[in-house]
Copies of this chain bind each other. A is one copy, B any other.
Amino acid sequence: MTFEPADPEFERRTRESFARQGAMALIGAELEKVAPGEVEIGLAFRRELSQQHGFFHAGILSTIADSAGGYAGFTLFPPEAGVLTVEFKLNLMAAADGERARAVGRVIRSGRTLTVCHIDVFVTKGARTTHCATGLQTLMSLVGRAGVKD
């Protein structure tokens, strides 16, 4: 799918918003790709990101997946609009055992009010990359309201 961004400054706007997410800095997430309707976020494994078996915590993966999807939608929004997650669902398909995770958000439906994204997480261990999680996310575009749903 190809999307035309409403705002030519979409990449700068997306990077600025990402930089304001304290949670991304805390976990060490990096914005790796910003394209119209598609965003990727990378994350190196550290013991601080683990669940009880020493793999990436499902919640940490959902944190980068939620941001990847949210910013994928955000790239297509008009300059004055904010983004909020309405809901998301994630299937954890394989143990997230590896050195690095990558979350990919891709818009599949872009509407004036609601946007739908596919969100996927891949984990790399040595030479092998595993598709660890796949999900769906619904976003809302908020014009002129500071991050509050209506």
Determine chain A's interface SS by DSSP, over half rule: mixed
Number of copies: 4
In the bound complex, do residue B22 and residue A49 qualify as a contact, i.e. CB atoms below 8 Å apart?
A: yes
Chain B residue numbers with a CB within 8 Å of A140 are 113-114
Q: Do A60 and B23 contact each other (CB < 8 Å), given the known contacts A87-B90, A136-B89?
A: yes
Instruction: Report how far A117 CA is from B46 CA in the complex, Å.
Output: 28
Tell me which of B52, B113, B135 contacts A21 (CB under 8 A).
Answer: B52
A interface residue numbers (CB < 8 A to B): 17-18, 20-23, 25-27, 46-55, 57-60, 62-67, 70, 82, 84-95, 108-109, 111-114, 116, 118, 131, 134-136, 138, 140, 146-150
